[in-house]
Structure 1
């Protein structure tokens, strides 16, 4: 049917504990919502690719590769073959929890800017809390000038405000680091799936 990438997509995981199923289920859904590209859920690295797809992947200079994400990023015509993963009949599982966690982090930081912006979001939230605390302090100062809570609220407000300034500053640095990271990866601006009307394809 002209598909250039065919990958397998798990529909069920037989004889796996919920301690493994639940993190995997949550990870793929979180990555789907946070990633900059549409990465199919419940898929692995094994797939069939046309030579043109392989050539594009091989030309990418980055060495820390998350194949499932890169495969989605390059585009081309893709489809999934759904299957149920049966219990392992021989050998031991090579992917420990630590390796799975490292793979998950690699996929998230390679295709999402949300981790870099997390400190900005938290900082803005802390700033809103500090603003609310300032309004409460002002209210207590006017209507309850002798309340001991006024001094405590002022200290808490100052802590939240200073924390917000620090987190937003880190977030600004994160934005610049994110730009540098994108440039260092050196991914092409576009990929060619087919060349027509030119004798020399180079």
Structure 2
């Protein structure tokens, strides 16, 4: 039978891991596949690795794990799991069971039809999440799809099943700064999306704070669009135009009323601060891209493995 690899990145998920395996294995047992599980311990500070070891000892031929030397981030964990997977088909899932296991047979059936190379999922709502978080998320998709040539489906999850051919294409992208949602779309291949309603975590709490999500969104925009670099050009053009108009106004004002008083120092200070702010913003944007290029040029490993079984 075909082999299905289940890739599960984990960070501080000791409560979820014992619940994840029974729930997923029960569904996969009904599918005509041999399964293997790859749990990735992303430098967890709790007993996540211990829970993975327990599962491996109980199911040594089926459950495997990779433990990092420190926390490298979810993207590194996802990449490590994809590299370790040996299946004909690979599915990425969150360990907190927010990715409904009941969808697995449908995903596999769609791939077996030969019509698709990947079956992804997307949430149609964000019930249970803070409204501000849902609003910012929707705005992120709106912005990135307007400035990037790579379309990212709103609400798309990393939860997807793909063929070995598509997996190899994803693995061929060895960039240091990774944004998987963009990479999955960029490589192409025929993809079908299944909709589902938001599901609450089965246990534990999320480590994705607003600041982490903001940085993740910013990285995604910069990884798949150079539009921010154009901001400096547009700001420069706009300010130059406004300065030219202001110069004409000053000249005309002097001709019409030679004795009129000059603009006050407060206006001058505001203009100087405004110009300084624009310059710093432009330098900061360019600096972010240069920094990403610098990190890529170092050729550092995306992750370092401490234990693998």
Q: Please report the TM-score for the alignment, with normalisation by the length of structure 1.
A: 0.75
Q: How many angstroms does 1:77 deviate by? A: 0.6
Q: 1:44 is matched with which residue?
A: 157
CA change 1:93–1:152 in 2 (3 A) is closer
Map of 1:66-85 to 2, 5 A cutoff? 66-85=179-198
Deviations 1:80-101 (A, max 9, x none): 1111112333221121222212
- Out of 205, 211, 215, the residue aligned to residue 98 of structure 1 is 211
Judge conservation of contact 1:35–1:111 (CA < 8 Å) in 2. yes
The count of corresponding residues between Structure 1 and Structure 2 is: 180
Q: Please report the TM-score for the alignment, with normalisation by the length of structure 2.
A: 0.50
CA change 1:145–1:32 in 2 (3 A) is same
- Taking the aligned partners of 1:150 and 1:83, their CA distance within structure 2 comes to 61
Q: Which has the higher strand share?
A: 2
Map of 1:119-130 to 2, 5 A cutoff? 119-130=232-243
Map of 1:25-44 to 2, 5 A cutoff? 25-44=138-157
Segments of 5+ residues of structure 1 without an aligned counterpart are: 186-202
Q: How many angstroms does 1:109 deviate by? A: 0.6
Judge conservation of contact 1:134–1:154 (CA < 8 Å) in 2. no
Deviations 1:92-121 (A, max 9, x none): 112122221221111011001112221111
Q: 1:199 is matched with which residue?
A: none
Q: 2:41 is matched with which residue?
A: none
- Taking the aligned partners of 1:132 and 1:155, their CA distance within structure 2 comes to 16
Q: Alpha carbon RMSD of aligned pairs, Å?
A: 3.4
Q: 2:131 is matched with which residue?
A: 18
Q: How many angstroms does 1:149 deviate by? A: 3.2
Q: Which has the higher helix share?
A: 1
Segments of 5+ residues of structure 2 without an aligned counterpart are: 1-112, 298-309
Matched, 1:59 2:163: no
Q: 1:137 is matched with which residue?
A: 250
Structure with greater contact order relative to length (CA < 8 Å, sep ≥ 6): 1
